[in-house]
A and B are shown apart, each in its own frame.
Chain A
Amino acid sequence: MSALTYEDVISKYEPVLGLEVHVELNTNSKMFCGCSTIFGAEPNTQTCPVCLALPGALPVVNEKAIESTILIGLALNCSIAPFSRFARKNYFYPDMPKNFQISQYDEPICVNGYVDVEIDTDEGPKSFRIEIERVHMEEDTGKSLHVGGSTGRIHGADYSLLDYNRAGIPLVEIVTKIVPGTGKYAPEVAKAYVAELRDILRALGVSDVKMEQGSLRCDANVSLRLIGSDVLGTRSETKNVNSLRSVERAVRGEMIRHAERLNKGEKVVQETRHFQEDTGLTRSGRSKEQAEDYRYFPEPDLVPVAPDAQWIEKLRASLPERPSLRRKRLQEQWSVPDKEMAAMINADVLNLVEETVLLGSDPTKARSWWLGEISRLANEKDVTISELAISAKDVAEIVSLVAQGELTDKLARGVVEGVIAGEGTPAQVIASRGIKVVNDDGALMAAIEKVCSEQSETAEKVRNGHVPAAGALIGAVMKETKGQADAARVRELLLGHLGQAAN
């Protein structure tokens, strides 16, 4: 469909990004009432007069949510406003019980921060600074389920079901300033920014940051301008971008779509677009040309937020290590080559490897399990590694068993597979599958003698000094012992048996 290549686009245009990330906080209760926030409960069981907007009910701010937001602001190098206010954003929609959203408008709680992200470029790793305009608090809406009709959208549906469990869940919105100067790396920078934010938020412990469950959602604003121009082009805002990979695809796709229009002399329409996971393309949502007027005004039911300076300093002192610094530290501690480090980050196993190492495993062994066999199984099942039923504790146990000679690498792979298949802990898998290393030299010798008599010609070659021929015999012994023998010990005993020094 695209006549233009990405190279065509970037040879003529400079992309300008703007990223808005919504984060659901992991507080126990909602933003303005005491209802539970647990994901996946029966519809409308986590509601009360406040989050259902019954007449007369009033909001009360969740202190923990304010604390989390300040932590986020501090981690993003923002200033914390000594005085900020909530505002009402007015618009009608059935899944918004009050028909206004309590948000923050011209007085957000955190302003003017930045995040540095590093990506691989043709000239090696390069750092980009993403400036943060604001971080503010708001509440989530309920969910609509449109039944009937082909699109799953409200138009054409037979009826709609409303679930208000999500209504009032605390949300934090993180908005960047415009991000120019990323050139052809715009898609990677966008992805790296969201990944960095996710890591920071996870390190802070303020959110589950699960993009697939919607606890971290990214809206990507993209515009193009001719290279050398300092006038901003018209932007589109792509919503519904539910994975890191999609962030990159959405930005790239929009750059191409804009360029195609601009090349044809058409205008880019300022609008909301929805990312389509299957095609990687976006489709038009509502146009922003008939811009909705949200009639913002200060929320009269809530008093201003005025965090005291001491509290802010206490929170600042409690900030965890910045993820980028932590990565540098771990890379040094573990002596990991750049490429391997990048692979770990890309596969999102850094935390798992670190946890495994902290449980006593050798860093190289831990890394090779997570990046190797476990990644392979995840790919095979088409899931993310974190979705597999194997923990750092399991891997540490397996690494330890191998080190003690209780398992061979091959047997260990079987144990990993068993754990992932839900057969229990490594110990349980070993017991139920009857896996054990044959390290009884007598049993091994019996097998060796049997194989040597069956393949006497090969045995004779080895006896005459042609050591490489031993490989076939070792293989046969391993087969004989159903793979439960330690291959090194088999080699040692076999060569001894045939009068050759094992070395």
Chain B
Amino acid sequence: MAEPLKILVADDNETDRMILRAIVQQEGHRVIEAANGREAVERFLADSPDIILMDALMPVMDGLQASREIKERAGGDLVPIIFLTSLQDAQSLAECLDSGGDDFMSKPYNRVILKAKIKAFSRMRLMHAQLQEHNRQMLLEQQVAKTVFDNVAHSGCLNLDNIRHSLSPLAVFNGDTVLAERKPDGGMLLFLGDFTGHGLPAAIGAMPLAEIFYGMTSKGFSMEEVLREINSRLRKILPVGVFCCGAMVELNFYDKTARIWVGGVPDVYLVRHRTGDLVKIPSTSLPLGVLDPHEFDPTASDHNMDVGDRVFLWSDGIIESHNPMGEMFGEARLEQLFEETDNPDDLFDDILSAVDAFIGKGNRDDDITLCTAKMVHIDDIGMPTFDTSKGTVGGPMDWEMSLELRDQSLKAFNPLPLVLNILMEVEGLRGLSGQLYTLLAELFNNALDHGILRLDSQLKTNAQGFAAYYLERERRLNDLDDGRISLHIRHRPVGKGGELSLRISDSGPGFDHQRMVSGIDENGESYSGRGITLVHQLCDRFEYRDRGNTVEATVCWPKQN
């Protein structure tokens, strides 16, 4: 026999109540009685019955009103109400169900049918309870998973003043993701991604993506290297047909440049602060996770940016959002906002409120995600500070190492993240990671660009020259068939701190460094293009050796100031 139920019988006629009680008790259930609708509601609140048998016509409060109040107070719980009525017309019976009733039975009662109905509703209650429990469990799991997800996905620098972003998820989890992280050289990587689908299946892919993004960016890997790694990881772990459309922007606050990659999301917009001009950067790559690693070649475009210029990244959710008439927001409306704005700083809010007003009471059918970043002076956002709590106390203090890269490695490998990682084993150097990365990058790039590739830094003085410089650099690097750069790094303990020396030599012909010391080269021009002024600020001692193809920089810690 099934588990006994608590059944509320609400009827103003005592004889009817008696008959019902007899039938119900015979089945082994417990009976609670009420003589009118008001009492039925009170008994419901006091005794939480499992099923209610309700007379439609009663004094004080009728069964229909009682049914409405009970259903409202029951919330998500299923409390089946079976109306018992002498009414016969279709309209009245329909009203019983409209008021929240689940079924009805006409008087006089057929006891076989009444018993069967109680059984049927008892089964339905159990199913409903199970469903509720599963749903509750699922939401609980999602909340826990979301906490983990948020900790992984939102650990970057999205809170910086020059970034604004908005994510509006359709579910607890979001198929869209926005990430930002500083590079050790002071730059920043910004990523907006849109996974196929919505909710948990879409968000799962964002976890490894965020891990790779934050890990590699903070170690100083370039945008292309980060994109390659994300693509190959997603290709490996996601099923065919699930991928991530996205756009990535690398901002350099020293050179005031942006490198932009777009793969499968709508055009990225670059807005000139001074003129209001709009540059659109279209998608040139397949989404991440589609191509095999050897086929994936992230081509990015380079852009100069003045202070105040902004980039805008979005998923297709904005352009494809619909109004109640089924019309799409579209690119034209978006562009109009950019044309009509008085203040580009308001555009972010303007776009969100325009899309919101457009959708109106219509249905949101995609995640709507928007992100913007502004070019600023490096002093306005400062250098990044990375977590220094990891690792052993002290770390290796007395050591040296050499690394020599030959032409084939110079073409394809960036040694800086690796070297910086090793340096960060020395606890005392961790606070200097940004400074050391910049120092290493300046010295290594000088050795490669000027020492080996013989590029003229004067090229970089204007915007066209900048692009020409990098084209020429790529060409010469491709043709390179002879050349070596060696890095010799030594650290030794000094007093309570230490001394780090970096010696970088290249196989090139060198240059007249004696003259450079006086600030003038053989053509009577300044060497400022080699970033030497910057290097001087970054280290304690600095000198050229040999024929100008070896440079040695020394950094001491702790810093005196």
Same complex for A and B? Answer: no
